[in-house]
Structure 1
């Protein structure tokens, strides 16, 4: 049996389909507020694609993917009023708004014509009632309303609420601010405001009642609160406690309310929670230019044996499909080119993985301390640098020493090995270790165990997409026989990021990062190499720069020291394979052999020192989800023996990008421009000996390395310009 559709509904739907389609919506005459700000206040929208990801289908005019907006005359009249109210509440009380409609067949272009008129200026602002407050001047300086600016009712409300909040954070739980605003009839373009604060008596926290728990102990909830009975009442601590409870992922709902003040000036607080599922599984996948396809899964118990202890198992597979898509879009910086020998590309084009089991104990030897225990097994690779397998465990104790500030101590012990053939270039080019037996000795499983300390401070307004504040991290690390390690080194690194609004929704972001690593002694215990070499540093601990998160005009890790690999030794026809010295130097001059830049592949080898600086301007692109970025990156990597003597030695890279704000964080597409020139670099190749590819360094009879002028850009003009562009796609901001 079918249900009849009322004729009135059909008639209304048919009538709406005859309305013109809104092609464009423009705002003209506005200077005080941007088009984007005004468009957010109105209902009339331009037709367009339902999502930028569906643009190809929209260009083909496939209706299912197109959002069609039709002109509604009543909404248009209401939008005129909405814009006038928008201006009125922000000080432009004489603003006038009109519309212009240009009809073309079934389409219409809508223009809102704004005459802003002169604003009402705030001539005087007086704040009373704070005379007994110790830092009254600081409170007054933080309000948005300022003399000499347009008199905005929006800022007036925000200023009143700000004073009440500031007083609430000083124990005045029932503080109120009375507002007196005057616009004289004799001068309608001037305003005078008095904000009268009534703090009331100071209050302290009284009884704290916990409700809504079943599996979680009420005392565990109480310990997560940042206030206790007897503390001075502070509104921020109520909010902070609510965030603490949500951050544990134990609760789907948290509500903290205060009761009316009692006769003894105490305030009872009620904490009501709704428990989440204590056990859960998570699945996810991703795509990036550096790791190709990635999938992950995890299982979590959020109240393991009670006490809000947390236990989780996680597994991640990365580099999926790199064997087929290495150095091709969208995996343009994953693996090594498919044209290289299978023995060379094998370690870097395989799937990488990480398995972890983690246990977290809050309130370890104190309410501000957290204990973390972990077991891990992983296979990791940096394309063209190394591929490693490691397993072991770690322990970390973290102490919150102030709000948003933490100090952590870590010990990590792992059995670490390098896959055959993956780090030959690095050992040979950096440390002069080219003999196969020596490289094999360095690559076999050895203990890499270190102790570290870190300091982190965060003062940003958001975790994933900050618009104001700063972040600071400092790290120091040491490994030697005293930590149970066969590798010996010390390492330090620091990073500072700063974010500031520029007006509207534009954001200026800055980042400065630096690090160093130094081997201790020979860098490794219990290994006797057949040749004298430089002190050795584990490849994992060296400094690398270049790629989506550092200097974006360069490929992954390709800024700084490099070697040139000749994948096919037949490209050196005049060089005899038999002319190899005891130290695995192939007596061969690449220039005399006619070797060109197109016949070699750059391989990064890292350094002992690194510095990176980034500047970004992030601006909205018509909606809250889309934004554009213009950036300039600076950086360099150099060895312990080298020096960075002048700013000109820093590589720099300008570029642009777009961001899409997704539920998992900003999706990022960046294009960086490489401003570098040709470089003179050492050359290595491979010779097959006994069925195995052996790394050899090109040089002379005395083992002095040979070099080649390397120019990857192919000259000037359009081709050279395109060759200098580097594309990056990933999730999350660069910093």
Structure 2
């Protein structure tokens, strides 16, 4: 029995009770006259092929898949413009649609699928109206073009989206006439749209319960009540709520009917995320030793979707640089503090650092604002107080300072942990004032990264990074040493020891520099599903003056690495050695999560 259409509901009536399973001997597809692309789609979409691959091979499994394939394969033909095709599916010589549902064979030997595509249909009439002047219908939806079924759906949706984009939230299809003339192999598609009234945003109505206060939900969402409806604003509201991390799901829907005053209420459904979370990480360097880190996070701390996070890190464990370092940081973020796109933060830090050229004990407190201008551009501005006690080649010193950190980030990477295309730009400026001293100035830093994927699925990636830093104002001897610049190690020059390049003060004394340049380049190549290799080269410069590239020294390193993809990002294993400079020798090993940059 040859079928042009088949009711898919038949497949749903089958009982899937367990029966003895035995492999059917063969699944054959016969597609006479069909081009290879369409034949490949037929086999890819087939439920029978999927059942064979999944080893669902009992009689009922095979019959259920066969009955589904009548509809699946017919839709596949429609999608390519074939509306007169025929489909036959025979199970051990019997047409699948003729097999009684109560007499399903236990085992199946041969399954034969025959698909006759028939003639290709072209569009005769192809009309969607009325549409806005800005609406662009699909290019193939035109008289004389292949009448692919998806083009009709896409054209109708494009017309509706055009009206919604200018405020007609309830635009829809008023009448749809699609007819097939088999004598002339022609499809006529005539779709009338009903734009409806132009509406304005009404209230944000919370439908589900949440531990986040309703007032906070509305403040963070920032729904522009009273303004003309805009689907992009709906997406922005969803993104703001999602970015708080307080919700595992966020769903916005439009009310079924507008209000009498021409407004449209928006219904909000959220599901709260688990309030508490913790995690840990580890990195290993052959010279710097083991670094262990952990965090504890509390979402919705005060009922306003706040995020409170405590981070701790111990580095230099079993390293060759001396004692281990320790840091503890706490940060409270308040979303929507000043308008929906401006968050507030409060933070504190306590640290003990035993670095190659100095020892530092510090405590710092700060507060600030984070502004999101769009999905790519954001900025931070803040103020803080810091107290530090330093022991270095200049002696034992104390710094009491007020800080004004600021940062702008423009991030167009396609993936933060494993980017393959795009770029990242970060710029930091931190003016500071020392009470009772001359260590007053500003620390400037820029970070530019670029990524370019090559080949199928971007399996080869070229990556490059430029870092530039400058300290304006105080002399080296008057500067808190953590504000100075150093080079060497995983974040700057792999293959060189950590912070090994600095400024030689003479008589064996050393210090960080007032300027810095870092260059990095990588070629990343994937192998198989999870593995990849990386070849890289880094170079770094540290200068005595504030002008990058002057009055200083360069060093460099290069190496090879292996990557293993996980759900959290690639595990990174790098081996590198110095290629120039006098700051180190031998091989350095690095292990961590995520790409190096």
Give me the TM-score of the superposition, normalised by structure 2: 0.67
1:681 corresponds, among 576, 582, 592, to 582
2:50 corresponds, among 40, 43, 54, to 43
Residue 225 of structure 2 aligns with which residue? 229
Task: Supply the RMSD in Å over aligned alpha carbons.
Answer: 5.6
Shift of 1:615: 6.0
SS of aligned partner of 1:681: coil
1:200 corresponds, among 189, 196, 200, to 196
1:14-163 paired onto structure 2 within 5 Å: 16=21, 38=44, 43=50, 72=57, 78=65, 88=77, 91=80, 128-129=128-129, 132-133=132-133, 135-136=134-135, 139-140=136-137, 157=153, 161=157
1:439-458 paired onto structure 2 within 5 Å: 439=393, 441=395, 444-447=397-400, 449-458=402-411
Residue 555 of structure 1 aligns with which residue? 495
Shift of 1:476: 1.8
1:265 corresponds, among 262, 270, 282, to 262
Work out the CA distance in 1 between the residues paired with 2:419 and 2:239.
17
Residue 10 of structure 2 aligns with which residue? none
Q: Does 1:609 align with 2:512?
A: no
Shift of 1:365: 5.1
Q: CA-to-partner distance for each residue in 1:660-684, whole Å, 9 max, x for gaps?
A: 342xx2132355777x74x35279x
Q: CA-to-partner distance for each residue in 1:207-227, whole Å, 9 max, x for gaps?
A: 433344575442222212232
SS of aligned partner of 2:448: strand
SS of aligned partner of 2:495: coil
Work out the CA distance in 1 between the residues paired with 2:411 and 2:158.
23
Residue 184 and residue 731 in structure 1: after superposition, are their counterparts in 2 closer, same or farther (change >3 A)?
A: farther
Work out the CA distance in 2 between the residues paired with 1:116 and 1:467.
42
SS of aligned partner of 1:639: strand
Shift of 1:373: 1.6
Shift of 1:377: 0.7
Shift of 1:173: 0.9
Q: Does 1:288 align with 2:242?
A: no
Work out the CA distance in 2 between the residues paired with 1:632 and 1:121.
52
Work out the CA distance in 1 between the residues paired with 2:343 and 2:485.
30
Structure 2 contact 401–434 (Cα < 8 Å) conserved: no
Work out the CA distance in 2 between the residues paired with 1:281 and 1:418.
37
Shift of 1:301: 5.9
Structure 1 contact 563–682 (Cα < 8 Å) conserved: no
Residue 66 of structure 1 aligns with which residue? none
Work out the CA distance in 2 between the residues paired with 1:357 and 1:301.
14
Work out the CA distance in 2 between the residues paired with 1:561 and 1:403.
37
Q: CA-to-partner distance for each residue in 1:18-38, whole Å, 9 max, x for gaps?
A: 8699xxxxxxx9779999x95
Q: Does 1:399 align with 2:396?
A: no
2:507 corresponds, among 572, 578, 583, to 583
Work out the CA distance in 2 between the residues paired with 1:658 and 1:125.
54
Structure 1 contact 168–234 (Cα < 8 Å) conserved: yes
Shift of 1:368: 4.1
Shifted more, 246-255 versus 178-187: the winner is 178-187
Structure 1 contact 670–728 (Cα < 8 Å) conserved: yes
Structure 2 contact 488–540 (Cα < 8 Å) conserved: yes
Q: Structure 1: any 5+ residue segments left out of the alignment?
A: 1-10, 22-28, 47-68, 99-111, 324-334, 337-344, 420-437, 526-535, 565-581, 586-602, 684-709, 713-722
Residue 660 of structure 1 aligns with which residue? 565
Q: Does 1:730 align with 2:595?
A: no
Residue 485 of structure 2 aligns with which residue? 542
